[in-house]
Structure 1
Amino acid sequence: MLVVFCESVAMPCCHDSCCPSSISPSTGHDARRWHRALWIALIVNGGFFLTEIVAGVMAGSASLQADALDFFGDTANYAISLTVTGMALAWRSRAAMLKGATMLVLTLWVLGNTLWHAWSGTLPHAETMGLIGALALLANGGVALMLYRFRSGDANMRSVWICSRNDAIGNLAVLLAALGVFGTGTGWPDIIVAFIMGGLGLHGGTQIVRHAIAETASTKMELAA
């Protein structure tokens, strides 16, 4: 299949020619809005990755560091999505598969880091966790609402929605962990929440990979026919 890039990123390409409309025929979504939403999501996630990784290390919080790595993974994933915007469905499916694999790898790192915190008995700073968690929840809640309309698109769009949804859930979990640490005076609420976030990451990554594999197989069958 020949893939032709349009002069404008907002103009999606269909197989061997550019579509006359800004509506993607494969997803039915406005490409300009999709492109703009991805840029906003990328900037928000990149900024909060830097914020949370510094705050997580300073506060000694496994859940904040887990959330920061999720932000990092999503920033890279949004960049990949921007790169394949307008490409053929097969390329978007491959990008989604790469994003799912990235999510799974980062999740394994998060789980390993959480085990280290549990072993060392770290007591995180609850006030820092609560403040950063609340700010991240407001930002990610807005991103998730913005991307909600794309949740039923192709594997690439669906993967972005899953990432944003998991981020908002993770931020809420960090807030609960901060309350737990403050109330109990132990680091176990932080550890428990970090493990839960790891579980969400594994589930979300698996969903993305499965959907992308099914979409890729369907594309190959169409080409063979």
Structure 2
Amino acid sequence: MGVSDERGAGRRLRRITALVVVLNFGYFWVEVAVALAIGSVALLADSVDFLEDTAVNLLILIAFGWPLRRRAVLGRILALIILAPAVAAIWTAVAKFADPTPPDPLSLVFTSGGAIVVNGVCALLLASLRNRGGSLSKAAFLAARNDVFANAAMILMGLVTAATRSGWPDIVLGLFIVALNATAAREVWRAAGEERLAAQALDRTSH
């Protein structure tokens, strides 16, 4: 691949990654707003996925312009930010144990359907980059693809909630999603640590 081809590929990666960042960060706020409005633990937990994907793709995006050491610092900050909605989801679940009021099933199903659309679009966009942007790009594609299945499970849970009028399906699924995403912040933190080690190795070789 020539220099011009590499530059073209780099610009395309930036455009796609920037679009994925906007889509994920935008729908993160949609899920948080709806989750708080209807009291859904599962939606609040699922918002962690969108924040995680925002963080990973943001790291990919800035990888073209920032030094390794600065990327590592930002990665650590993003890892801590990811923890906020996860903690909120656990807090909401615990608070609902005493009064497991069911969330509005219709809002839950429609919001989860929107999440499927967003994650599906992101997966399609990232499919062409999974072998070009390194391990983070591949991880971003796999995360978006897997999130589609998690959103489908949430739609099923919404239907179960409508049938049973119980809040327990939402609480159980929410805690399950939190458990699945327990490694999200750790993975971003680890990626930032790898950037830091790479920066240190580069410093040693340059002296």
TM-score range, shorter chain: 0.7 to 0.9
Query: What is the TM-score with the length of structure 2 in the denominator?
Result: 0.77
1:129 aligns with 2:112: no
SS at match of 1:121: coil
1:47 aligns with 2:30: no
CA distance in 2, matches of 1:57, 1:106: 11
CA distance in 2, matches of 1:220, 1:78: 23
Match among 145, 148, 160 for residue 168 of structure 1: 148
Which amino acid is the alignment partner of residue 183 of structure 2? Answer: H
Is contact 1:166-1:200 (8 Å) kept? Answer: no
Inter-CA distance 182–53: structure 2 relative to 1 (3 Å threshold): same
Please name the residue that 2:170 is paired with. 190
CA distance in 1, matches of 2:4, 2:154: 43
How many residue pairs end up in the alignment? 203
Please name the residue that 2:183 is paired with. 203
Is contact 1:73-1:106 (8 Å) kept? Answer: no
Match among 86, 101, 110 for residue 65 of structure 2: 86
Of 48-57 and 67-76, more deviation after overlay is shown by: 67-76
Please name the residue that 1:224 is paired with. 204
Which amino acid is the alignment partner of residue 31 of structure 2? Answer: E
Q: After TM superposition, list the pairs within 5 Å mapping 1:93-108 onto structure 2.
A: 93-108=72-87
* 1:151-209 Cα deviation digits (max 9, x unpaired): 46356546644653564344233213213312332111111111122122221221222
Q: Any stretches of 5+ residues in structure 1 without a counterpart?
A: 1-19
Please name the residue that 2:17 is paired with. 38
Percent identity, aligned pairs only, is 25
Inter-CA distance 210–54: structure 2 relative to 1 (3 Å threshold): closer
Query: What is the TM-score with the length of structure 1 in the denominator?
Result: 0.72
Which amino acid is the alignment partner of residue 164 of structure 1? Answer: A
1:148 aligns with 2:127: yes
CA distance in 2, matches of 1:79, 1:217: 20
Which amino acid is the alignment partner of residue 204 of structure 1? Answer: A
CA distance in 2, matches of 1:99, 1:155: 18
Which amino acid is the alignment partner of residue 112 of structure 1? Answer: W
RMSD between superposed Cα atoms in Å: 3.2
Is contact 2:57-2:137 (8 Å) kept? Answer: no
* 1:98-145 Cα deviation digits (max 9, x unpaired): 322322343222222222223331211112211211121122111023
More helix by share: 2
